[in-house]
Amino acid sequence: MKLKETVQMWLISSLNDPVVKILARNSHLTKTQLETLLIDVLSENIAKKPLKYDEKARLRLTKAKISRGAFNRTLKQAKENVVKSIYTVLLLGYLGVFESTTLDLYLEIANKLQEYLDTYKAMMNRDKYEDEQLKIIEIMREELETGLKKLSNPSEGFL
């Protein structure tokens, strides 16, 4: 399979993941920025070689041809949004907002997310999947979706 097809299949799968959809919808990244950032950060792992930005631009899911400049502008916007999000977290921590027990719901969902990822990775490293394992993963994903949807509602979260 060609690199473009492999990367695009991986992107489609990742961007259609229900947990990713909820997280992305409530992040500072547009869908295009997230896609561009994923291509920039992870496509070289799939290609197993360094890629130039015009090559990365061709990996985007859009049918229209994307110039290297447009790809780079979108990538710059995505990186700026990520940095601003991190600074927001640092600012709130510095001001003592994270010492509040209202953040416990977010920490709990973060722990569930890590547990889900660990379980999913462990399952993917096995040769065959058992129905019980698939059910456990599905239940964990549903719990994550429910928790994330609840926290994405400002009246339910800590803000």
On whether the CB atoms of residues 89 and 110 are closer than 8 A, the answer is no
pLDDT band at 51 (very low <50, low <70, confident <90, very high): very high
Q: Domain residues for 27?
A: 1-95
Q: 1-15, 26-40, 90-104: which has the highest mean pLDDT?
A: 26-40
- Please check whether residues 62 and 11 belong to one and the same domain: yes
Cα separation of 87 and 94, whole Å?
10
**pLDDT at 156 (0 to 100):** 59
Cα separation of 18 and 115, whole Å?
16
- Please check whether residues 122 and 142 belong to one and the same domain: yes
- Please check whether residues 114 and 75 belong to one and the same domain: no
- Whether the predicted pLDDT of 157 surpasses 60: no
Last residue of a domain, one of 95, 125, 141: 95
- Please check whether residues 104 and 79 belong to one and the same domain: no
The residue among 22, 27, 16, 24 whose CA lies nearest residue 146 is 22
- Please check whether residues 44 and 78 belong to one and the same domain: yes
- Please check whether residues 83 and 30 belong to one and the same domain: yes
**pLDDT at 135 (0 to 100):** 85
Q: Which residue has the higher pLDDT, 92 or 126?
A: 92
Cα separation of 112 and 140, whole Å?
8
- Please check whether residues 54 and 13 belong to one and the same domain: yes
How many domains in the chain? Answer: 2
- Please check whether residues 86 and 116 belong to one and the same domain: no
